[in-house]
Amino acid sequence: MAEFDTPTLKPYPEIPSIEIGSMAHSQPYVAKQDIQQKIGFPGELIDDWEQVAIDKMGELVKGSRALRVFLDSCVKCGACTDKCHYYIGTSDPKNMPVARQDLFRSIYRRYYTLAGKYFPGLVGARDMDKGALDEWYSYFHQCSQCRRCSVYCPYGIDTAEISMAAREIMDVVGVGQKYCNEIIGKAQTIGNNLGLPEPALANTLEGLEEDIEDETGVTVRLPLDVKGADILLVTPSADFFAEPHVDGLIGYAKVFHQAGLTWTISSYASEAANFGLFIGSYENMQVLALRIREAALELGVKRIVFGECGHAWRVAYNFMNTLAGPFDFLDSNYPMPQHICEVTYDLLQRNALKMDPSANDDMVLTFHDSCNIARGSRMGDFEGGQFVIPREVIKASCNHFFDMPSDTVREATFCCGGGGGLLTDDLVELRVKGSLPRMEALQQVVDHHGVTHMAAICAICKSQFSKILPYYGFEMDQIVSIHQLVSNAIQLGGEA
Amino acid sequence: MSLLTIFFTLLFYFATATIVIGLAYRIRLYASTPTPLRIPTTPAPISAGGVVRRMFFEVTLFNSLFKSNKWIWLFGWIFHAALLFVLLRHLRYFTDPVWSWVAFIQPLGAYAAFAMVAGLAGLWARRLLVDRVRYISSPSDHFMLALLFGIGLTGLGMKYVAHTDIVALKAFCLGLMYFDWQPMPDDLVLNLHLLLVALLMIVFPFSKLLHAPGVFFSPTRNQIDNPREKRHLPTATSSATKQAG
Ligand code: HEM
Ligand code: HEM
Ligand code: SF4
Ligand code: SF4
């Protein structure tokens, strides 16, 4: 891996001048044969791949109004050019959303539009060849599918949709990304991204129960595969072991405990994350969604609740009903699915939780809106609930909270830099540079309000920040889970 | 009939057929292409009325663009608003008697032409001067601006420099509509104006000008945010509608 310099934090964000090709070298490891074949893709670049890629492109566009409209409509106005954190952090113009789309659009034009067939030079159309594929592999793995560009485009053109389509085409011709595809394989066979089998999971949960008892003197259960529980909790598997994720899981357990709700985790569907989204694969996404459905049926639960995970919530909230529904066997008095923050928020509204916010007085907090929650889903029953509800839960758990600058939060939030299937060590340079806008925003509230910690509700964000905070002179434990704050503040004991 | 008249008569029938059929084909394609999943960019309206409101402000005020970049918004919005006025003003060549509201906006329309050209100039300047926008421009993007600029300048030329025979032109236009062909005035600036207009009509359904119908079909903007309440189905016949499990 090439050496690189961590960008310096500036007091005011700047739009960099373009530096052509500055990130062309950034590519993740390619998936080996067995990984590819396990999830239904060819093991290596197939013969005649150009034609297969072109045909697949046609098929995808035919099946997606979004692609069709986005490919036709971009007027190259340039409004999105300074909106991507990867462009801001790397200055590579191919990381400008419109330029990233154009890697795809130029080939679409060449084969599927009149103008591109007869006047390729005029409209910037391009042949599908090795050079193009190489650029695709670089730059479609420099998009975290965060949708920030789509907020600012006058037509809502969502580069994430195009990245997903491009990754799917690459998979179909045999050039997959190791990190994502390996994980999808594990989740499909073992039930979670870590490949954690049932006994290991049971062990971990028992260990956590002991920890809670040691710390609070109260027995709080973390049940596994309990039939007849009311709630199936589906959470990212990082919650089972990684810091600060696991403190969040303890928080969920305490909330359920105090509210007197019966719940369970399923060892069959022990993963909320759904990496099928990142590679644009409807089929792979559906496999995991169906596992959750089957687990819910098998365990006979009444509700499904999702833990703190960004893209998982997008898939759950927006897609599950389509992919694996209808869910009419669940209790219709609760939304399907429900987010753990919604559960906690509702309980707080009803004064069903005993909170002592001063338990978190050693921290001054800010909140990082995760992209997929902010721009790809909702919480609660009102527009923008995904911004209000997590903040209300934080405020109920601590006394000191300050938001980052308004152009870096809510729907304008900047990606952590590691989303969309890029959370891998072979992309560290990209991840560090891509987090620049978020780090600058954090630095501002650190300077002005003495913020000490940033809370998040996404497993990827948490892992990414743990890794990159030190590059910018912060401490890795300055990132916390929201339910870690809840866990600290909630006063156990005395309930039934 | 002069060669000039025959040429323009045929050209305008061809151009009209191209834009009408081309757009109809494209719009049908957009409408019939499935939407596999629910993908509104949130926060999004949670009711149909909310979506109508969102789209209305996107189309009339370029809401997202306003949040995004004030300069592009300013030039772009001026250009489009002026273009709308210019086009409405042009209805007087195609209606007889001229509709009263078209007559009413005539004076305003005259200023609109200047605004349109100024807006275009601003957009073009950005395209040439801002390194990011220059990088993403291909020849066709300049061509499109040049075309509209040319139409605007020749139009202004007729209005303020070399007046044309409006009565004869109107006879030609009405003649086209009622298949009662009349001579095209032999006037270089007018002929150039009309040549460019015909070109614009012909490229419309094959170019980025498709953003005009496209904006209405963009799923990130026109979908309602209610996937938990209402199960989203791609289309009536798609395989994903099969009940799972
Ligand atoms: C529903 C109607 C329309 C809407 C909502 C719309 C919206 C927009 C928006 C938001 C932009 C980007 C910002 C800008 O550069 O102005 C744009 C660009 C553009 N529009 Fe439209 N438009 C519409 C109709 C048209 C029509 C009818 C034409 C031409 C005859 C047109 C020509 C253009 C051109 C040439 C550009 C690119 C300007 C550049 O090069 O920067 N638009 N449009
Ligand atoms: C068949 C269609 C068209 C015809 C017959 C036509 C004809 C004319 C004529 C005769 C004038 C001179 C007006 C005067 O002297 O008062 C004019 C002006 C103008 N035209 Fe057109 N034109 C057509 C289409 C267009 C289109 C599509 C555009 C814009 C994209 C346009 C833009 C202008 C402008 C900006 C002016 C100057 C200001 C004005 O008089 O409104 N024209 N046009
Ligand atoms: S903002 Fe939208 S229309 Fe403008 S250049 Fe970017 S993708 Fe294209
Ligand atoms: S989706 Fe996010 S990462 Fe991808 S191009 Fe848009 S802003 Fe950049």
**Separation between Cα atoms, residue B208 and residue A164, nearest integer Å:** 23
**Structure tokens, B128:** 């040439």
Q: Is the Cβ atom of B170 under 6 angstroms away from ligand 2? A: no
Q: State the pLDDT at residue B242.
A: 36
Q: Which of A290, A274, A283, A315 is nearest to A60 (CA)?
A: A283
The residues in A 24-53 lying below 8 A from B, measured between CB atoms, are none
| Degrees to nearest 5, angle at CA B132 with B130 and B136 | 115
Binned at pLDDT 50, 70 and 90, residue A141 comes out as very high
Residues A70-108 pLDDT 10s: 999 999 999 999 999 999 999 999 999 999 999 999 999
Which residue numbers in chain B have pLDDT < 50?
236-245
| Ramachandran region, residue A221 (left: φ > 0; alpha: ψ -120 to 50; beta: rest) | beta
- With 80 as the cut, is the pLDDT of residue A422 above it? yes
Q: State the nearest Cα–Cα gap between B180 and chain A, in angstroms.
A: 34
**Separation between Cα atoms, residue A148 and residue A237, nearest integer Å:** 26
Q: State the pLDDT at residue A3.
A: 82
Residues B92-132 pLDDT 10s: 999 989 999 998 888 887 789 999 999 999 999 999 999 99
- Give helix B188-203 / helix B139-160 axis angle, nearest 10°: 150
The residues in B 21-50 lying below 8 A from A, measured between CB atoms, are 26, 29-30, 33-39, 41-46, 50
Residues A425-471 pLDDT 10s: 999 999 999 999 999 999 999 999 999 999 999 999 999 999 999 99
Pocket probe mutation, ligand 1, options B80, B116, B128, B129, max atoms within 8 Å of Cβ: B80
The ligand 2 atom at the shortest distance from the C-alpha of residue B89 is: 41
Residue type, B27: I
Please name the helix (run of DSSP H) or strand (run of DSSP E) that holds residue B144, with its range, or none: helix B139-160
Say how many Å lie between the first and final Cα of chain B, rounded: 72
Q: State the pLDDT at residue A195.
A: 80
Residues A273-324 pLDDT 10s: 999 999 999 999 999 999 999 999 999 999 999 999 999 999 999 999 999 9
State whether residue A82 is helix, strand or coil.
coil
CB atoms within 10 A of CB A213: 12
State whether residue A450 is helix, strand or coil.
coil
State whether residue A27 is helix, strand or coil.
coil
Whether residue A461 contacts residue A418, with contact meaning beta carbons closer than 8 Å, is answered with yes
pTM attached to this predicted model: 0.94
A376 with B215: Cβ contact below 8 A: no
B152 Cα to the center of ligand 1, angstroms? 15
Q: State the nearest Cα–Cα gap between A257 and chain B, in angstroms.
A: 26
Size of interface A-B (CB pairs under 8 A): 218
A318 with B38: Cβ contact below 8 A: yes
Q: Look up the ipTM and state it.
A: 0.93
Whether residue A280 contacts residue A165, with contact meaning beta carbons closer than 8 Å, is answered with yes
Please name the helix (run of DSSP H) or strand (run of DSSP E) that holds residue A61, with its range, or none: helix A49-62
Q: State the pLDDT at residue A189.
A: 85
Q: State the pLDDT at residue A90.
A: 96
Question: What does each C-alpha distance from A321 to A252, A371, B41 come to in angstroms?
Answer: 24, 21, 18
Residues A149-198 pLDDT 10s: 999 999 999 999 999 999 999 999 999 999 999 999 988 888 888 888 89
Mean pLDDT of A471-481: 96
Nearest to B30 among A68, A115, A335 (CB): A68
| Degrees to nearest 5, angle at CA A121 with A115 and A126 | 85
Contacts of A18 (CB under 8 A, 6+ apart): A91, A92, A93, B131, B132, B135
Q: State the nearest Cα–Cα gap between B161 and chain A, in angstroms.
A: 32
Residues A203-251 pLDDT 10s: 999 999 999 999 999 999 999 999 999 999 999 999 998 989 999 999 9
Alpha helices per DSSP H over B161-204: 166-177, 188-203
**Structure tokens, B192:** 């150039």
Burial bucket for residue B121 (CB in 10 Å: 0-12, 13-18, 19+)? middle
Residues A251-270 pLDDT 10s: 999 999 999 999 999 999 99
Binned at pLDDT 50, 70 and 90, residue A494 comes out as low
Q: State the pLDDT at residue A26.
A: 96
Ligand closest to A83 (CA) is 4
Say how many Å lie between the first and final Cα of chain A, rounded: 56
Binned at pLDDT 50, 70 and 90, residue A495 comes out as low
Considering only CA atoms, give the Rg of chain B: 22
- With 50 as the cut, is the pLDDT of residue A46 above it? yes
**Structure tokens, B157:** 């030329």
Mean pLDDT of A471-487: 97
Nearest to B42 among A68, A73, A386 (CB): A386
Domain architecture of chain A: domains with CATH: 33-176 (1.10.1060), 184-495 (no CATH)
Question: What does each C-alpha distance from A304 to A87, A264, A289 come to in angstroms?
Answer: 38, 10, 12
A18 with B132: Cβ contact below 8 A: yes
